[in-house]
Amino acid sequence: MEQQKGGIYRYGMVIDLDKCTGCGTCMIACAAENNVSVRPDQTDKERTITWMKLYKITNGKEFPHTEVSYFPRPCMHCDEDGRGHHQPSCVSVCVATATKIDHNTGIVSQIYTRCIGCRYCQAACPYGARYFNWWDTYFPKGKGLERYLSPEISPRMRGVVEKCTFCHHRLMRAKTQAYAEDRTDIEEHEYTTACAEACPAQAITFGDLNNPEHKVSQLIKSPYAFRLLERLNTKPKVYYLSTKDWVRKMADNYLPGEFKPVTKVTG
Amino acid sequence: MDSPLLPEGVKRCSTTTFLFWTLPWLALLAWGGLSAFLCLWKGLNQTNMSNVFAFALWIVFDLAIIALGAGAFFTGFLTYIIGKGELKNVINAAVIIGFICYSGAMGMLGIDIGQPIRGWFIFWHANIHSMLVEVSFCITCYLMVLGIEFIPLILRNRQLDKIRGLHIFGHSLHEIMAVFAATGTFLSFFHQGSLGGMFGVLYARPFAARDGFYIWPWTFFLFILSAIAAGPCFTILCTKLTEKITRKKLVPDNAIQLLAKISAWLLSIYLVLKIADTLGWIYGVVPRAGLKFIDFYREGPYGIWLVVCEIVIFGIIPAIILLIPKARRHQGWLITACLLNCTGIVLNRFVFIIVTLAIPVMPFDRFWSYLPTWQEWGIAMAVIGYGFLLFSTAYRYLPVFPQERELNPATE
C-alpha cells in the first residue's frame, strides 16, 4: 500500500482519569479483541497477561479524606529509550529484532514468530507492559470463549513476549478499507483501539498526536495532561488527564519541592 | 584399570575411589537433567520467574560464572601476551575453569530462553544496538577459542600423545597459542563489558542505569575490571581446592602470588572507580529520576547493607589483604581474601539483576519477591556438578599442572 497522505503519523492515547470509574471494561475489551490467553486460575498476577492493566491508587489519607483513582496502563509505545535515542528501551535491547517501532505510525510492534523469549525487553520496560507466555495458549473449551477468537490476531505460542499493539490490526483494516475506496488517508473515527471504543465513560481517546484536528492532539495541550514516569524521558505516547494534584504527583517521582501543582488554568 | 591413561610419573587415586568421587557430581547432573527436561517440555512455568522477575537465578549464575571464569582469558593474556612465564604453571587449570564456566553458562542460557529452538535468531536477526547481541556473539566465539585452547592439553593425554598426527597437531596448536590468547582477550573484554552494558543501558530503570562514555555506560568498564580482578582469585581458589583434595602441591607459590598481587591491584582500581561510579549515580542518575539514594533500599530485604557488603566487606577488605605481601603469602588470609573477592563479584551481579528488577519503577507499583524453584536450583547445581566432574576428569587424565612431578618428588 502506498504511503498515506500526511506522511508521518504518531498514534497515541489520552486517558482521562477523572472520568475513569475503574470498571475494567477496557481490560476485557482488549483481551477479547487481541486473543489474550487466560489461565484456569488467574490469581497469579505476576504471570497473567493483561495488555491493558488497571491500577488502583489512593491519596493515602484516612476517611473521610480518602480519594481513589484508577490508572489504566496499556503499552506506552515510547518514542525514545530515555537517553535520546529514537527507539524505545525495549526495542533497542531486543536481541533478535523481534520488537520494532514503526516511525511512520509510532506503534511499537512485537513479532511473535521471531521472539526467542529472552525477556530482556521486559527488564528494560519500566511500565511492566510486556508479558511473557509462561504456558501454552489456553482458551477454556466448552465455555464458548474459543468462539470469540479473532481471526485477525495470531495467538501467541509459549515462550514468547507479547504486549499491547494499539490494536494495530484495526489500522490495517482501516487502511485496507481506505485503499478499496480509493482514498489515501484514513479518518479519525476509522482507527481506534478496542479499549477506547469499549470504555463506557469515554475516558479513553485515541488518534494521531501529530494531527491538530484529532482530539488527542488537543487534549494533550491541557495543563492537566501528563505522562507516566515522564522524567525518565522515554517519551510515551499515552497521556493522562487528571485535575487532582495527588494523582499527577503519583505518576512520577519528585524530590521535595519539585512537584508544581497546576495553579492557573486558562481557556 | 585406567592406569595407561594416567599422566606419567604422577600418582592418582584408584579407579574405584575416582568413581565414588564422581557420584555426587553425577547426582547433581541428574537433578539438572530432570529440571532441564521439565523446563524444555513443560515450559518456563516450572520456574518461579515472572513478568516482574524476567531474569532470575539462572542469569545471576550465568553472569557470576562468566565473571569468575575470566581467569582464563586474563591468565592467557598475562602468560602469552605480557610474557609472565611463571603463570604457565596455572594456565591449563585456568583454561579448563574458563571452559567449564562458559560452556555451563551457554547451557543454562539455552534453557533460559523461552524458545530455545530459535536461539540462532540472535545471529540471524541480530539487533546491533543490543548489548545482548554483543554478549552472545563474543561468548560463542570465545567458547570456541577456549575449546581450541583446551585441545592441546587433551591431546597431551598419554595415549593420545602416542599418535604422531595428534602429537604434531597439538604441538602446532600450542605454538600459535598467543594468537588465540589475544583473540580470547579481545572477545572477553567485549563480552564482560557488554554484560555490564546490558544493565547500564536500562535507562528507564534508574537503579541500574548509568551515564557513560560514547555508547558504553560505566558498568561496561566496571564489569570488565571486576571480572579480571575476581577471575584470578577464582583460579587460585580452584587450584587450592584441588591441592587440598589431592593432598599435593600442584602450583608453585610464585604463580599464585603473582595472580594474587595482580588481582589486588585490579580490585583496588576497580573499587576506586566503583565508588566514583556509585557517587556519580547518587548525584546524577538518581536525582534526575526524582529519587533519593535511600529510596532504592527500602523494599524487602534489600537495604543499605547491600552497598556496605559489596564495597567494604567483599571489596575493600580483600583488596587490603591481597595488597599486603605478608598477608597474601599466608595461606589462610589468601584464601579468605579470594573467597571475599569472589563473593563480592557474585553479589555485584546479583544486585544488578535481582535488585534492579525487584524495585518497582512506577511509584504506585508494588514490591514483588522471588524464590527459585527446585528446577531452577537443579539447573544451577548441575553446572557445579559438571564443573567438578570435568575438572576432576581433566586432572586425572591430563597433565593439567606441569610442575606436579617436580613439586611432588615422593610420588615418583
- The answer to whether position A113 is within a domain reads yes
Q: What is the mean pLDDT of residues B17-30?
A: 96
Between B81 and A124, the more confident residue is A124
For B347-375, b/e burial (b = at least 16 CB within 10 A) is bbbbbbbbbbbbbebbbbbeebebebbeb
**HSE (CB half, 13 Å, CA atoms) of B290?**
19
Q: How far apart are CA B285 and CA B210, in angstroms?
A: 7
Which residue is listed with cell 599464585?
A: B256
This model of the complex carries an ipTM of 0.93
Number of domains chain A contains: 1
- The answer to whether position A5 is within a domain reads no
Asked if A253 lies within 8 A of B295 by C-beta distance, the reply is yes
- The answer to whether position A261 is within a domain reads no
Between B80 and A209, the more confident residue is A209
State the distance between the two ends of chain B, measured CA to CA, in whole angstroms: 19
- The answer to whether position B237 is within a domain reads yes
A109 contacts A132 by C-beta, under 8 angstroms: no
- The answer to whether position B25 is within a domain reads no
Q: How far apart are CA A207 and CA A9, in angstroms?
A: 9
Cα of B394 to nearest chain A Cα, Å: 33
The closest CB to that of B43, out of A96, A159, A231, belongs to: A159
Q: How many Cβ pairs within 8 Å bridge chains A and B?
A: 168
The proportion of chain B whose per-residue pLDDT surpasses 90, expressed as a percent, equals 77
- Taking the Cβ of residue A200 and every Cβ of chain B, the question of whether any pair is shorter than 8 Å is answered with no
Q: What is the mean pLDDT of residues A172-179?
A: 95
- The answer to whether position B234 is within a domain reads yes
Q: What is the mean pLDDT of residues A143-156?
A: 86
Residue B412 confidence (pLDDT) above 60: no
- The pLDDT assigned to A141 comes to 79
**HSE (CB half, 13 Å, CA atoms) of B117?**
8
Confidence of residue A242 (pLDDT cuts 50, 70, 90): very high
Residue A138 confidence (pLDDT) above 90: no
- The answer to whether position B410 is within a domain reads no
Residue B42 confidence (pLDDT) above 60: yes
Per CB-CB distance under 8 Å, the chain A contacts of B363 are 250-253
- Taking the Cβ of residue B198 and every Cβ of chain A, the question of whether any pair is shorter than 8 Å is answered with yes
The proportion of chain A whose per-residue pLDDT surpasses 90, expressed as a percent, equals 82
- Taking the Cβ of residue B282 and every Cβ of chain A, the question of whether any pair is shorter than 8 Å is answered with no
- The answer to whether position A189 is within a domain reads yes
Residue A209 confidence (pLDDT) above 80: yes
Residue A4 confidence (pLDDT) above 50: no
List of E strands, B104-257: 212-213, 216-217
Residue A159 confidence (pLDDT) above 70: yes
- The pLDDT assigned to A5 comes to 43
- The answer to whether position B404 is within a domain reads no
- The pLDDT assigned to B7 comes to 87
Between A264 and B188, the more confident residue is B188
The residue range of the domain holding B66 is 49-370
Asked if B205 lies within 8 A of A229 by C-beta distance, the reply is no
- How many other β-carbons are positioned within 10 Å of the β-carbon of residue B71? 31
Asked if B119 lies within 8 A of A250 by C-beta distance, the reply is no
Over residues B64-76, the pLDDT tens digits come to 999 999 988 889 8
Confidence of residue B401 (pLDDT cuts 50, 70, 90): very high
CATH code, B259? 1.20.1630.10
Between B273 and A7, the more confident residue is B273
- The pLDDT assigned to A7 comes to 56
Q: How far apart are CA B359 and CA B366, in angstroms?
A: 8
Residue in A with minimal Cα distance to B116: A116
For B255-291, b/e burial (b = at least 16 CB within 10 A) is bbbbbbebbbebbbebbebbeebbebbeeebbeebbb
The residue range of the domain holding A70 is 11-250
Cα of A153 to nearest chain B Cα, Å: 20
- The pLDDT assigned to A15 comes to 98
- The answer to whether position A32 is within a domain reads yes
Over residues A192-208, the pLDDT tens digits come to 999 999 999 999 999 99
Which residue is listed with cell 501467541?
A: A156
Per CB-CB distance under 8 Å, the chain A contacts of B55 are 119-120, 123
Q: What is the mean pLDDT of residues B194-204?
A: 94
- Shortest CA distance to B117 belongs to which of B6, B40, B19? B40
CATH code, A86? 3.30.70.20
Residues whose CB falls within 8 Å of the CB of residue B300, separated by 6 or more in sequence, listed in order = B358, B367, B369
Over residues B154-193, the pLDDT tens digits come to 998 888 888 999 989 988 888 888 888 888 888 888 889 9
- The pLDDT assigned to A44 comes to 85
* Mean model confidence pLDDT for chain B: 93
- The answer to whether position A265 is within a domain reads no
- How many other β-carbons are positioned within 10 Å of the β-carbon of residue A129? 26
Torsion angle, alpha carbons of B398, B401, B405, B408, to 10: -120
- The answer to whether position A159 is within a domain reads yes
Would you say how long chain B is, in residues? 412
Q: What is the mean pLDDT of residues B341-354?
A: 96
- The pLDDT assigned to A3 comes to 41
Over residues A38-87, the pLDDT tens digits come to 888 888 888 999 999 999 999 999 999 999 999 999 999 999 988 888 89
Cell output for A164: 499491547
Residues 122-141 on A with a CB inside 8 Å of B are 122-128, 130-136
Residue B411 confidence (pLDDT) above 80: no
- Taking the Cβ of residue B132 and every Cβ of chain A, the question of whether any pair is shorter than 8 Å is answered with yes
Which residue is listed with cell 507492559?
A: A129
- The pLDDT assigned to A267 comes to 54
Cell output for B319: 583488596
- Taking the Cβ of residue A243 and every Cβ of chain B, the question of whether any pair is shorter than 8 Å is answered with no
Number of domains chain B contains: 1
Over residues B101-146, the pLDDT tens digits come to 999 999 999 999 999 999 999 999 999 999 999 999 999 999 999 9
Would you say how long chain A is, in residues? 267
* Mean model confidence pLDDT for chain A: 92
Question: In terms of C-beta density within 10 A (0-12 exposed, 13-18 middle, 19 or more buried), how is residue B378 classed?
Answer: buried
